[in-house]
Structure 1
Amino acid sequence: MRTEKMNYYFPIGLFLAMFLDGGLTQVFAKQMFTNTMAMESRLVLLFIVMAVCYGNVEHLVMWSAIVGLFYDMFYTGILGVFTMILPLMVYVTKYMFQFFTRSFIVVLLIYLIDITIVTFLFFWANSLVDFTNATITDLIGRTLGPTLIYNLAWFVVLFLPLEHFFETNY
């Protein structure tokens, strides 16, 4: 019965996280994007990581590809980047998680590693189509650092509610 509830709640939460990514970025654009930094909200990735670590979600790869397609259509302008990156992150997270036991610190570190991978893959895709002329040093100092700090704060705030969500609907 609980797995059936998760089949409905998970896609709703995933799309809510996607729209929250865009909404927070829109509302706080002046603070998130300056001449010296660019923060990227990765709440959809947080939701996927928590689903891998605490949930029993059917068709997680399919749902991550679908939300990745919508993410591409709404936010990136390059169709297919997040459609491929998010399912890849499901596999990477599952692989990393099999070596550890569930805890706040383990999930946090996996999430931060996932953010780093997503940021580099997205930078690489943008470089391939000449959407950016930034160097890897610019990426690390201007984008990756602030992005990790921003998403770390959201992780601390959302960890217990998301853990409760996935464990009660498991």
Structure 2
Amino acid sequence: MNMRKVVVMPLIAIAIFILEGVSSMLFSQAFFGEQRLFIPHFLIVMLVLMTAFYSRNATLIYAFILGMVFDIYYTGILGIYFAIFPLVVYLTDKFMKVLQNNIMLVGLVAIFNVILTECLVYGFYVLIGGTDMVLASFVDQRLWTTILLNLAFFLIMYFPFKSFLLKLKRSDGR
């Protein structure tokens, strides 16, 4: 039995899930004050890296499970992230079939998916009347800071997580 696959990978996913919640509560006001919002999408970054360097099918399972848990724990509206996380995996898989797996292109795909996620969530909340934030304020106060800080997380996680995923892939015999 592969301990990395059975124990370590779920623990990493749980740790990133917790880190996402803790970082949004502790560091958003410390970095940007009241005027800017930092929305961590560390799970999106993790799913992009998993899709790029491991297995799409295994990543889809993680995407569905994490999306459901994320909706239950953070949003209270079931279905938003449950649909977005697998969409991110699908789009990343399609991009990676055309692009090379280097840090710049995987980073661009990760940032694209963070932007897509933010815009889809914003659009959904505008549609149901859950927010009154206009698009210009959304971009100025929320989107730019979210992109920058998720890019920083990507740069920190890229090499160690890529190395872990490639070792995991080799031990699976793929």
> TM-score when scaled to structure 2?
0.89
Structure 2 match to 1:105: 104
2:130 paired residue number: 131
Residue in 2 that maps onto 1:70 = 69
Instruction: Work out the CA distance in 2 between the residues paired with 1:29 and 1:146.
Output: 10
Q: List per-residue Cα deviations over 1:38-96 (Å, max 9, x = no partner).
A: 11111111110010011136432222111111111111222211011101111011111
- For structure 2, which runs of at least 5 residues remain unmatched after alignment? 170-174
Output the CA distance in 2 between the equivalents of 1:138 and 1:50. Answer: 30
C-alpha distance in 2 between matches for 1:27 and 1:38: 12
CA contact (8 A) 2:56 2:89 kept: no
Cα distance in 2 for residues equivalent to 1:120 and 1:50 = 21
2:38 equivalent in structure 1: 39
Number of residues of Structure 1 aligned to a counterpart in Structure 2: 169
Gaps of 5+ in 1: none
Query: Is the Cα–Cα contact under 8 Å of residues 32 and 38 in structure 1 kept in the other structure?
Result: no
C-alpha spacing 1:29/1:145, structure 2 compared with 1 (3 Å):
closer
CA distance in 1, matches of 2:41, 2:113: 10
Distance in 2, Cα, partners of 1:59 & 1:166: 12
Query: Secondary structure of 2:98's match?
Result: coil
Equivalent position of 1:28 in the other structure: 27
Structure 1 residues 34, 73: closer, same or farther in 2, change over 3 A? farther
Change beyond 3 A, Cα 1:141–1:29: closer
Native 8 Å contact 1:49 1:90 kept in 2: yes
DSSP 3-state at the match of 1:106: helix
Give the percent of matched residue pairs that are identical in Structure 1 and Structure 2: 21
- Normalising by structure 1, we get a TM-score of 0.91
**Cα pair 1:7 1:57 within 8 Å, conserved:** no
Between 1:145-154 and 1:69-78, the stretch displaced more is: 69-78
Residue 140 of structure 1 corresponds to which residue in structure 2? Answer: 139
Matched with 1:115 is: 114
Aligned-residue CA RMSD (Å) = 1.8
Tell me what 2:172 maps to: none
